[in-house]
Amino acid sequence: MDHLLRLLPLLACLTGQASAADPPDRPRLVVLTDIGSLTAGVAEPDDGQSVIRLMFYTNDFDIEGLIASSNLGHGQRVRPDLIRRVVDAYGEALPNLLLHDDRYPPASDLAGIIKAGRPIAGPNVPVEQSVGEGKDTEGSDWIIEVVDRDDPRPLWVLIWGGSADLAQALWRVRADRSPEDLDRFLARLRVHSIGDQDATGPWIRDEFPGLYTIIQRRAYRGMYRGGDPELVSSDWVREHIHGHGPLGDLYPDYDGGDIWSRTLGRVRGIKEGDTPSFLSLIPNGLGDTEDPWLGSWGGRFEGEGHRLADVADADLDTSGDPDPRMSSVYRWRPAFQADFRARLDWCAEPYEQANHPPVVRIAGERDRSVSPGGVITLDAGASSDPDGDELSFAWSVYPQPADAEAIPIEDLGSGLARLTINPDASARTIPVLLTVTDDGDPPLTRYGRVLVRVDEGGDSRPR
């Protein structure tokens, strides 16, 4: 069956469809998920929601592991069978998805990387019960195998539940290899953790301080709290997710709680607290995996060295939010929900009846230097849309430092803009953001970035 599916993107490309324009290197991912349910009202189905959404973005990633990890508060079992159910539904949707992008992988590839992790772990379980000699799991062995592959790209390990399998993998490598080999192993890893659901998370950070780690404490709750609630409501689930192919029909309508339920009410519809970990890696032009301070659909992160955490955006009024860090996710909700909605359409519609994201192209270098008083011209006129939709362009500075003066960008129309640096400007980096949105249904957004470095040694000529 898979060999037949591989012919579909070729046929689509011959008819002018399913081609991805200039795709960057796709991030490599291993996901540790404490998925425990795919049924509304049963246990905690939010991980199931996130795994289903992830399937729609397998064209943008190289997913190299789907590990069922321990789940906090919902029983000490691991459920690789639930991941298999999602992948089976993906396989049913795949022929139609391939009409829209030929990079979607065969379902058999994803089924082959589903692994079981350690079932007994939690915040009150001593690390020694999860990590050490005799504690290797299918999941921990798989992490080591994937990291050791001959691939220059770093491996992102996304932790949605327990981190015991990553902890065991690191313990095993340290026990079996030289310090130099351990350092090389760690250098190939990037970890993005949604909180700490067992004791091994802090243990990893204490034992391996050189490991690149992003930890989200509160920003991920902007996936479903704050912002426009209609975009994550049960009505939205019923209208835009259910009835859109086998993956959409499998999506559970969440009805449960979180830490703020007593004051803010129950969570109904979409929760997906783990989804920001991969939203931050989608190559949509907004974020940069090597510069997480720039922000992304999954939040914005700052820190010292290899340890980063979620931060709030200074340009939004977050006075009504239970935590200001949520804003760095919910500000993008209209864009990422429209993107999800379009991909749900890809499950059910032919290419001509669905929308596809614009392609953003900014002339010149991404990094530019300029002296105080200098002028830089920005040109995105070569941007295009695969469906022939009209494009709108919006230039801004993001993130906007709280203590910086306003930086006006003059919109010249047709994707052109001019940035004039204040003659008294101090040395700094100005993160210019271009937002390009088409007029399709739903309207889809992509981004472009230019980092303007104001420096006394820069070039003050118009550019």
Residue pLDDT, tens place only, 86-139: 999 999 999 999 999 999 999 999 999 999 998 877 778 899 999 999 999 999
Topology match between the domains 2-346 and 357-454 = no
With contact defined as beta carbons under 8 Å apart, do 204 and 253 qualify?
Answer: no
Q: Does domain 357-454 have CATH number 2.40.50.100?
A: no
State how far the Cα of 292 lies from the Cα of 56, in Å rounded to an integer. Answer: 23
Q: CA dihedral defined by 86, 251, 267, 192, rounded to 10 degrees? A: 30
State how far the Cα of 26 lies from the Cα of 413, in Å rounded to an integer. Answer: 32
18 has pLDDT over 60:
no
Q: Say if residue 112 is exposed, middle or buried (CB neighbours under 10 Å; 0-12, 13-18, 19+).
A: exposed
CA angle 284, 285, 290 (to 5 degrees): 105
With contact defined as beta carbons under 8 Å apart, do 252 and 330 qualify?
Answer: no
| Tokens 């919109």, residue located | 411
State how far the Cα of 335 lies from the Cα of 442, in Å rounded to an integer. Answer: 10
3-state SS assignment for residue 11: helix
332 has pLDDT over 60:
yes
State how far the Cα of 12 lies from the Cα of 163, in Å rounded to an integer. Answer: 41
Q: What are the structure tokens assigned to 226, written together?
A: 């704050």
12 has pLDDT over 50:
no
List the chain domain ranges: 2-346, 357-454
For 210-231, the pLDDT digits (tens) are 999 999 999 999 999 999 999 9
Q: What is the mean pLDDT of the chain?
A: 92
Confidence class for position 460, pLDDT limits 50, 70, 90 = very low
Q: Which amino acid is it at 249?
A: D
With contact defined as beta carbons under 8 Å apart, do 43 and 35 qualify?
Answer: no
For 247-295, the pLDDT digits (tens) are 999 999 999 999 999 999 999 999 999 999 999 999 999 999 989 999 9
State the pLDDT at residue 426: 86
In this structure, which CATH number among 1.10.472.10, 3.90.245.10, 3.40.630.70, 3.30.1330.10 belongs to the domain 2-346?
3.90.245.10
Out of 22-26, 199-203, 274-278, 421-425, the most confident range is 274-278
State the pLDDT at residue 457: 58
For residues 356-385, average pLDDT:
96
* The model's pTM: 0.93
Confidence class for position 326, pLDDT limits 50, 70, 90 = very high
